[in-house]
Structure 1
Amino acid sequence: MPITLMKSLRNITTINQIVGVVGRRTFAAGGAKKKGSKGAAAADAPKASLLSKEVKSTTVFGANILKDGQDPKILPDSEYPDWLWHLLDKRSPLSELRRKDIESLPYEDLKRFVKLDNRARIKENNSVKAKN
């Protein structure tokens, strides 16, 4: 009887250990390097690219999202739509839009002014209500 009890206890501890290991949150090994370690300088150094300069200048490397696809080729600027070149243009902040005459604003700036003004009014009303 004591032998069967010992075997059952061994099984219980093994199951508890398995549950503990499975239920534990772990992180990848080697995630944090010590500042003074010898391998840290080599790991932080930029790696030499395996792609030639010709391939880098003609294709968008890493833009392929399809399993069997290829990386897209870089086209000349005339092949892209005009709106693409204006995506990174700086847009006027609300303070500058308030200084301008509303009647003379283009439609896009007027739409932006209304949106930003509404947002500012809502924030102001919320802060007033929060103080009371």
Structure 2
Amino acid sequence: MFTFKRLLVQIPRRQFSTSLVFRAESEAAKEASNLKIKSSCEAGTVLNLKVKKSGAEPVALEDHEYPEWLWEILDPKKQLENLKANPEKYAKKMMRQSNRQKIKHSNFMAKMK
């Protein structure tokens, strides 16, 4: 009969301070906010997004040919500003977040039984 010996190696959980990571991320976020967003593909690139059989394949346009609101969609600060401008939508979003948290909490507590 064979016996196997396991080598247990304990790896320390924290190898660096997380506060440095958060500082680095916040500095990177500040630098990123100063940069202008540009498209990920060059103009004229075939996008392979053809849905219908008939018709031509969609092609990427120049950045200035797209509407301005398109570049603001992924910016959470701009989206929050737009949401706060409409109090009804803002209240609805906050209520949904609250409900999700309550559901997650109740599911967690149900697993603890």
Same fold flag (TM > 0.5): no
Higher relative contact order (CA 8 A, sep 6+): 2
TM-score by length of 1: 0.35
TM-score by length of 2: 0.40
Q: Which structure's CA Rg is the greater one?
A: 1
Relative to its length, the structure with more helix (as a share) is 1
